[in-house]
């Protein structure tokens, strides 16, 4: 996740992005894999950049409590729970694909197909 260095939370968020239990790591995945930086996330969730920083430092939803946890987090950052849940599911799907190595195969297939045209 790209975070401006002028914010005092930037170093903390960079460290938090290595912690899989925090939203910062999911937001970093969204940035790396989909180009959704903090500005795009802010726009998508219709929140301030400060709210995105606060989201980054939140714990991710617990297994079995996703709906409740997403609702609580959405209220905390001031966004719509449906938008937050959609973003969460996208990030998780990207993480799962990356962990399985599937993204490499998909990219190779896409390159091959582009070369065929």
- The mean predicted confidence, pLDDT, of the chain is 87
Residue 5 confidence class, pLDDT cut points 50, 70, 90 = very low
9-37: per-residue pLDDT in tens? 889 999 999 999 999 999 999 999 999 99
Q: Identify the DSSP state of 61.
A: P
| Distance in angstroms between the alpha carbons of the first and the last residue of the chain | 34
Residue 4 confidence class, pLDDT cut points 50, 70, 90 = very low
- Could you give the percent of the chain with pLDDT greater than 90? 74
C-alpha span between 87 and 117 (Å, rounded): 33
84-99: per-residue pLDDT in tens? 999 999 999 999 998 8
What per-residue confidence (pLDDT) applies to 105? Answer: 55
The torsion angles phi and psi of 21, rounded to 5 degrees, stand at: -85, -5
C-alpha span between 101 and 67 (Å, rounded): 28
Write down the pTM of the prediction.
0.79
User: Between 81-100 and 102-116, two packed helices, what is the crossing angle to 10 degrees?
Assistant: 80
Map out the domains of the chain as residue ranges.
Answer: 10-116
C-alpha span between 11 and 61 (Å, rounded): 23
């Amino acid at each position: 996740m790209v975070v401006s260095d002028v914010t005092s939370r930037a170093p903390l968020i960079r460290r938090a992005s290595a912690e899989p239990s925090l939203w910062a790591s999911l937001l970093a995945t969204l940035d790396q894999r989909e180009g959704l930086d903090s500005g795009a996330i802010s726009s998508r969730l219709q929140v301030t950049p400060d709210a995105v920083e606060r989201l980054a430092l939140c714990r991710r939803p617990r297994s079995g409590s996703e709906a409740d946890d997403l609702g609580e987090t959405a209220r905390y950052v001031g966004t719509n729970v449906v938008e937050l849940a959609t973003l969460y599911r996208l990030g998780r799907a990207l993480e799962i694909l990356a962990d399985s190595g599937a993204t490499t195969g998909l990219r190779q297939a896409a390159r091959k197909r582009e070369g065929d045209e």
